[in-house]
Structure 1
Amino acid sequence: MHFPGRGKPYSVRTLAEESGVSAGVIDKIITGKQGNVDVDDATALAEALGSAIFPLFAPPASPNPSRTSRIPNPTSEE
């Protein structure tokens, strides 16, 4: 993982040390083996990375434009 504000990449071990979240939990989050993250762990990771929680755990944008949400055009029934 890279954190531009820190100037060098984090390893799972150093992120665990800085956040207080176990390396095992961080590894499961990174690999997608753990879908839900405890709010305390999420907060600790965000603080260690100098980030808000949302950008860390938000789903990626869909690469397929037809799958993005769109506001339907109003239709006139006159």
Structure 2
Amino acid sequence: MSPPNVRYADLPEALGCDGWYTARVTTIAELDQAMDTAATADTGCCIEVVTTTYEAPPMANQLHENIDTLYST
């Protein structure tokens, strides 16, 4: 099952947040540029960071693997 194709950077406009700075980034260089732009923006900002499917830090993966243990009664 593949994740849904949601363009989160488009959400502010869809929700009526006119004039917001939005960016969709896939590389560190793009993220650096987007963060620099956001830092000087005079409005709200939304930066969507696109990663590979299921990419997460080791601790997040461990929590996911043990979810039943964490929430069992």
Taking structure 2 as the reference length, what is the TM-score of the superposition? 0.24
User: Rg: which structure is higher?
Assistant: 1
Taking structure 1 as the reference length, what is the TM-score of the superposition? 0.23
- Higher relative CO (CA 8 A, sep ≥ 6), structure 1 or 2? 2
Instruction: Determine which structure has the larger strand proportion and give its number.
Output: 2
